[in-house]
A and B are shown apart, each in its own frame.
Chain A
Amino acid sequence: KAGVTQTPRYLIKTRGQQVTLSCSPISGHRSVSWYQQTPGQGLQFLFEYFSETQRNKGNFPGRFSGRQFSNSRSEMNVSTLELGDSALYLCASSLLGLAASETQYFGPGTRLLVL
């Protein structure tokens, strides 16, 4: 069974631009969660989608948004990029999501650099 895949793996953008990241969960998984990892703040929860609905959201500004498609693939969008948005963005998938007590399977991440 293929693991969680994320595209692109690396991305360079300039301040003010917007970016869209993609995550394909493990086949059959209906939950996708997104996380931001930076050296200063560590790993922080962005949001979770389950069956195309956002089920939970972390403490990030509205510039960070996401969506999930009927095939469970998810996209995350960041608008008006700031230097501080440079980070490794990770997604994780699971069958039932964070509402259940189950293992989260992480993708390799997308490394975003904002210049």
Chain B
Amino acid sequence: KQEVTQIPAALSVPEGENLVLNCSFTDSAIYNLQWFRQDPGKGLTSLLLIQSSQREQTSGRLNASLDKSSGRSTLYIAASQPGDSATYLCACRGDSSYKLIFGSGTRLLVRP
């Protein structure tokens, strides 16, 4: 059974800092991994989707990497801004399971 863990649960950084969010999964047989952002009381916004055959994906200041063999993904945010404050969630879709398994998220606060 796939389990997804995100560490740390919460993170507070000053504006301008580069930061890394971590996601680990127990079953390496994943089809893809996605990173989402959730603002308080809102739905999820997709940030990046990494196919199982890919090592990383980039969008603007965001870079996500995937290492299936070690069961890890990281989301790198460059030059953080207060507008980046949100909860970041990763989710895996298994090779044989058509469902997304979510981590519990990292709550990020970027201080002005």
Contact = CB atoms under 8 A, between A and B. Distances in A.
A104 B102 contact: no
Interface string A80-104: 0000000010101000011101111
Contacts of A99: 98
B46 interface: yes
Interface string B84-102: 0000010101000111111
A109 interface: yes
Interface stretch (A11-19, A41-49, A68-76): A41-49
Q: How large is the interface on A (under 10, 10 to 19, 20 to 34, 35 or more residues)?
A: 20 to 34
B29 interface: no
B42 interface: yes
Contact of B34 (A4, A45, A104): A104
Contact of B49 (A4, A42, A92, A103): A103
User: Could you say which of B36, B45, B89, B98 has the most chain A C-beta atoms within 10 Å of its C-beta?
Assistant: B98
A58 B100 CA distance: 10
Interface in B64-91: 89, 91
Contacts of A97: 98
Contact of A101 (B51, B89, B97, B99): B51
B34 A103 contact: yes
Nearest to A9: B41
Given A45-B100, A48-B99, A58-B99, A101 B43 contact: no
A101 B32 contact: yes
A48 B43 contact: no
A8 to B, nearest CB: 15
A22 to B, nearest CB: 15
B44 interface: yes
Contacts of B101: 45
Given A58-B99, A99-B98, A104-B34, 8 more contacts: A44-B102, A56-B99, A98-B100, A103-B34, A105-B46, A106-B44, A106-B46, A108-B43
Interface of B: 31-32, 34, 36, 41-46, 49, 51, 89, 91, 93, 97-105
5 contacts: A33-B100, A35-B100, A43-B91, A56-B98, A101-B31
